[in-house]
Structure 1
Amino acid sequence: MFDRLPTARASRRAAPLLCVLALCIALSGCKKELYGNLSEQDVNEMVVALLERGVDASKDTSDAGKTWSLDVDDTQMVRAMEALRARGLPHSKFDDLGALFKKDGLVSTPTEERVRFIYGTSQELSSTLSKIDGVLVARVQIVLPNNDPLAQTIKPSSAAVFIKYRRDSDIGALVPQIKTLVMHSVEGLTYDQVSVTAVAADPVEYSQQPQSGGMPAWLLGVLAGVVVLAATALLVLARRGVLAGRPRADAAGGDGAASGRLGGLLARLRRLRPAN
């Protein structure tokens, strides 16, 4: 029994240390939410863009696929932001005319209807232009003068388009098509009244990956699980070793007590026996 006690005590002391080690390993591979409330298409594009840059990323949902979140290794947050900014992700969200003119029971004034229509048209054109390959940011500003029908001179409509694109994209060749698209989307707009400003994005200098972030997250999880199982096994073995030693100790104690009582009874019999 006594040769098992040091082993049991050592096992019980080592188990908490192994649990702490497992916790440290698990925390070293923790992921944090970088973006939330994303569509599945957006989160898939972001995961692919990050994996291409060597960033450990994954997607997660908490509402059965209605919205998604992007999870990134906490040691690669900066690199993830740089990679997404270079790709213009996540995509900007735009309003559409259907949502703007949804019937809500309130009667709008003609001025409100006009402003809402201009804004909705600008949003839809911006959304359309942002889907061109290589375009990072697209914005369209529309001006529709409120001309007096009795006036002799009429102010023409105009539109200004701003595009920010990746340097490896040839957006300049698409400027005539962009102007034509905007012209046919706005009533009373001519080709010459559409201006397009295209700006190339600055190149992104990616930060160096941390040296400690080379181990994949799944491998860290496996190591943490192995350490936890080892700690649990040591605790079980330690408890079995101590419990296994108790019956022997109890039996030895019982034999000693019985021997003591028997010896006392024999001594009394000797004193009562008559002398020869």
Structure 2
Amino acid sequence: MKKKDLFRQLDALKNEIISLRKDLNKISNEKELWFSKKEGFSRQIREKISIIRESREKRDALTKKVKELKEKRAVLSEEIGKKISEFKKLNEEKKKLLSKSRVKDPYRLKSDIEKLELKLETEAMPFDKEKKLSKTLKDLKKSLGEASESMEIMAKAAGLNKEINEMKKNSEIIYNDVQQTAEESQVLHESVLALSREVDGLKAKEEESFKNFINFKARFAGINYQLKENLAKMGGIREKINKFNLEEEEKRKLKETMLMQSKEKEIEEKFKATKKLTTDDFLAFQDNIKNK
């Protein structure tokens, strides 16, 4: 192959290498861009999954609390039911006793007795009237004594009714707590679902970015391999060109040596023939001395 053909190949390879390097830089930038996007999506996914875990823990804790509150309210409701049944029995018993008694309203009778006692203690009145009121008071107290069982039952019923009302208030408080806690749990649950959907979307984007990264990475590797091959080819061509240059240099030096030897022989012959030396002869003679 001729030297000019080698230079032609070398120039073509240089242009191809420049083009490949441009493509390689462009693809490298694309590759890094998609890798950066993939890492960004991965980071967002990790952050959202962390929030999801925290929200799930809070939601589960609230759900557990709701369950415990419902169980507590169920126990309380059962107790209220028992108390109401007991209250109804007392009320029935009170009605039976009152139906048999002359005193239909013992507490009103008690109030009347207290008023009458106060009147006897604080008001001045004729003896006959006082005696009459005292007898009336005695009769009323006797009647109240007969109604003592009814009053005891009524007192129990009143106390039980108060207890039932208090338990109902507590049940209502627990119910409101259940509603509020369940609402908070639902909000967290919906938040978890929304974040999970976001994570699914981010995972799809992450996967797409990773595929693009792998694609550009493969293209980068292919072009890089081609570039290395071309650089190796260029190195081989340069070696051949250097070999050509070395051969040409050796030929040139050989030609110069042969020319000097020929000139030297010519000068020697002129010396022998006592011929006149020219300026060129002197210069050639000086060069010959220098080279020696």
Q: Say yes or no: TM over 0.5.
A: no
TM-score normalised by the shorter chain: which range applies? 0.3 to 0.5
> If the length of structure 2 is used for normalisation, what is the TM-score?
0.40
The structure with more helix, counted as a fraction of residues: 2
> If the length of structure 1 is used for normalisation, what is the TM-score?
0.42
